[in-house]
Amino acid sequence: MNRTFYVTTPIYYVNAEPHIGHAYSTIVADTLNRFYRAQGYETRFQTGTDEHGEKVVQAAQKEGKDPQPYVDRISQLFRQTWPELNIQPDHFIRTTDPEHMAVVTAILSRVYESGDIYFSEYGGQYCLGCERFYTEREIVDGRCPDHQTPLTFIKEANYFFRMSAYQDWLIRHLQENPDFIRPERYRNEVLSFLKEPLEDLCISRPKSRLTWGIPLPFDENYVTYVWFDALINYLAGLGYPDGPLFSKFWPSVEHIIAKDILKPHGIYWPIMLQAAGIAPYRHLNVHGYWNLDQSKISKSLGNVIHPRQLKDRFGADAVRYFFLREMVFGLDAQFSEENLIQRINADLANNLGNCFSRTLTMIEKYCGGFIPESGEPGPEEQRMKEHLLKVRETVSQEVRKVTFHKALMTLWEVIDGANKYVDAQAPWALAKDPALQDRLGTVLYVLAETLRQTAILLSPFMPQTARSMLDQLGCGPEKEPVSWEEELVWGRLAPGTPLARGTALFPRIEVKKETPPPPPRKVPTVEMKAPSLLMGVESQAMLLATGDGKRLTVVVPEGAVPPGAKVK
């Protein structure tokens, strides 16, 4: 069995700063990477930035900069954002890297020599945002379906990639490999696209119009353009064609993208690979959009949310959990701070955090802060052990299918189970009876061991939380990554281990409600007299009250009373 795993994110355009849409794909890739690493696979995770093209030149001009310093700055922003979300890529590629440019040149030469690139004139509707031509069928109300901006008619002589020659091959490949593109809806979308004849792909721009690109090796008056440059990053980062990383990792490549770039990844890319004599990728994993008020979060729509803002307020792992739990991979999801806070409070603070802290508190209180010896496990304990095994299996299967929300739902069943177990076993009651000390040890041991294994199962999703849980249970610092095979063995938590209690995993987020100030309290005052001095203090009014020696009750007149009226 191939024990390598290679995962990629799209390389992000540097005309925008990182936002949570970019963060989602990158968190997904990081989670997969950590999961496979924990299964003992040799893994590689690549992300990076896409830095050529007209859009970038324009964005640089807006800042009064040359393209190079501009792309250096934004690329650095992306690079710095990822560790803040506990994302650890193995390689960060830039399309301006000389190594990348060399691989693009080599592949262009190869495909040109094999006759699949030709020179011709073409006119069509072009979206600057997507940097591609749109066919009549794709255009919605004369606008780009993605950016909703008007398209520009462009006609010029360019180089074209003969995609049409590979249409039948691609249809066959999709039919023979049902999960090549997943979830299925996107495979169907590509297949339906392939029902129409494929147009060849324009892959160049004249240097007279654009210089910020990679020169074509066979015509110095042109640079290559966008997709032929960008997609090749996935090969270039492995040192294609001769690097040892290429032969090791390419067979297991998994791409993560959103549906906006399905066509380039589902059609252009497999055909480019086929034309260059390279095996296709293993899976294209396509997710939906994070929307804000029904619109895709994007720079062009001006509704971005920066990952750093969320991380600073809620913590990196809480943000990771929310993204992975809330989105059904493949479908769109709605971002809202309320949802985020609700998930943090319900799932993380109340459920996981509470279970963890009450277990530690009881071990501190009843066992002096040391993991107790377990007595003979009963049927309840047996059930907990078996449940954990089942959950491990399900979590593994779901992560392999990129259905993270299901993996996390399953994992939370363990935490729910542990909370119910505490309530049912009532360790506080056992603690009162010296004859039940054995049973108390068993219950607290089972809880601590369940939480240790939960931490290990959680580690791909929430690495920092997992580490903190293990540390607090006295199991750290151990080597990273945590191996599931070695660690998910019941009983590895040694009795007698001292706890190393730290801060709460997830403090509850208090929602500051914008409540209107309370209306001024009506104090029933009765004006009886002009202001006068009472015990040396000026009194403006009087309260009338009756009392029974214990309580005072204010007496309120039924109607308006003129100043100076007498109390009878």
Alpha-helical regions (H) of 85-138: 98-113
From the list 65, 91, 147, 248, the catalytic residue is 147
CA distance 105 to 215: 8
Q: Footprint of ligand MSP on residues 350-409 (CB under 6 A)?
A: none
Catalytic residue at 475?
Answer: no
Choice from 5, 6, 7, 22 touching ligand MSP (CB under 6 A): 22
Is-contact 240 130, C-beta < 8 A? Answer: no
Residues 262-301 that bind ligand MSP (CB under 6 A): 289-290, 296-298
Pick from 87, 202, 231, 367: which binds ligand MSP (CB under 6 A)?
231
Nearer to ligand MSP, 272 or 367 (CB): 272
Among residues 52, 100, 144, 355, the one annotated as catalytic is 144
DSSP symbols for 230-296: HTTHHHHTTTTTT-HHHHHHGGGEEEEEEGGGHHIIIIIHHHHHHHTT-PPPSEEEEE--EEETTEE
Give buried/exposed letters for 345-383 (b at 16+ CB in 10 A, else e): bebbbebbbbbbbebbebbeebbeeebbebbebeeebee
Q: How far is the CB of 89 from ligand MSP (least distance, A)?
A: 14
Minimum separation from the CB atom of position 230 to ligand MSP (A):
4
Catalytic residue among 255, 283, 287, 296: 296
- In the complex with ligand MSP, which residue's Cβ is closer, 268 or 421? 268
Q: How many residues bind ligand MSP (CB under 6 A)?
A: 21
Instruction: By CB under 6 A, tell whether 186 contacts ligand MSP.
Output: no
Residue 296: active-site member = yes
**Which residues, in sequence order, are CB contacts of 107 under 8 Å at separation 6+?**
232, 235, 272, 276
As a whole number of angstroms, the distance between CA 306 and CA 302 comes to 12
Active-site residue, 367 included: no
Q: Let me know how long the chain is.
A: 568
**Residue with smaller CB distance to ligand MSP, 202 or 257:** 257
* Residue placing its CB nearer to ligand MSP in the complex, 104 or 388: 104
Return the range that interacts with ligand MSP (CB under 6 A); candidates 152-160, 258-266, 341-349, 356-364. 258-266
326 binds ligand MSP (CB under 6 A): no
**Two structure tokens written together for 103:** 């691989």
- Six token digits for residue 345: 């409070």
Query: Please, what is the angle between helix 67-84 and helix 54-62, to 10°?
Result: 90
The residues in 46-75 that bind ligand MSP, with binding defined as CB under 6 A, are: 50
The number of angstroms, rounded, from the C-alpha of 434 to the middle of its chain's C-alpha atoms is: 49
- Classified as helix, coil or strand, 144 is coil
147 is catalytic: yes
Of 25, 354, 419, 450, the residue at the interface with ligand MSP (CB under 6 A) is 25
Q: CB 554 → ligand MSP: shortest distance, Å?
A: 60
Cβ atoms 61, 210 nearer than 8 A? no
Q: Is 283 a known active-site residue?
A: no
Q: Which is nearer to ligand MSP, 24 or 356 (CB)?
A: 24
Structure tokens at 485: 């095979």
In one letter, which amino acid is 240? Y
Is 254 one of the binding residues for ligand MSP (CB under 6 A)? Answer: no
Only one of the segments 165-173, 200-208, 229-237, 443-451 lies at the binding site for ligand MSP (rule: CB under 6 A); that segment is 229-237
Q: Annotated catalytic, 306?
A: no
- Closest residue to ligand MSP, judged by C-beta, is 21
The least distance separating ligand MSP from the CB of residue 75, rounded to whole angstroms, comes to 12
CA nearest neighbour of 327 among 402, 411, 414, 410: 402
Identify the residue among 107, 258, 340, 360 touching ligand MSP (CB under 6 A). Answer: 258
Is residue 11 close enough to count as binding ligand MSP by CB under 6 A?
yes
| Structure letter (DSSP) for residue 40 | T
Spatial strand order in the sheet of 219-224: 204-206, 219-224, 214-216
Q: Is the CB of residue 144 less than 8 Å from the CB of residue 134?
A: yes
Query: 133 vs 289, which CB is nearer to ligand MSP?
Result: 289
Q: Are 307 and 84 in contact (CB under 8 A)?
A: yes
3-class secondary-structure state, position 222: strand
The distance in angstroms from the start CA to the end CA of the chain is 101
323 near ligand MSP (CB under 6 A): no
* 122, 202 contact by CB (below 8 A): yes
Among 142, 138, 127, smallest CA distance to 193 is for 138
The catalytic position among 173, 248, 299, 405 is 299
Give the nearer residue to ligand MSP in terms of CB position, either 13 or 314: 13
Identified catalytic residue from 52, 55, 100, 130: 130
Interface with ligand MSP by CB under 6 A: which residues? 10-13, 21-22, 24-25, 50, 230-231, 233, 257-258, 260-261, 289-290, 296-298
Residues with catalytic function: 19, 22, 127, 130, 144, 147, 296, 299
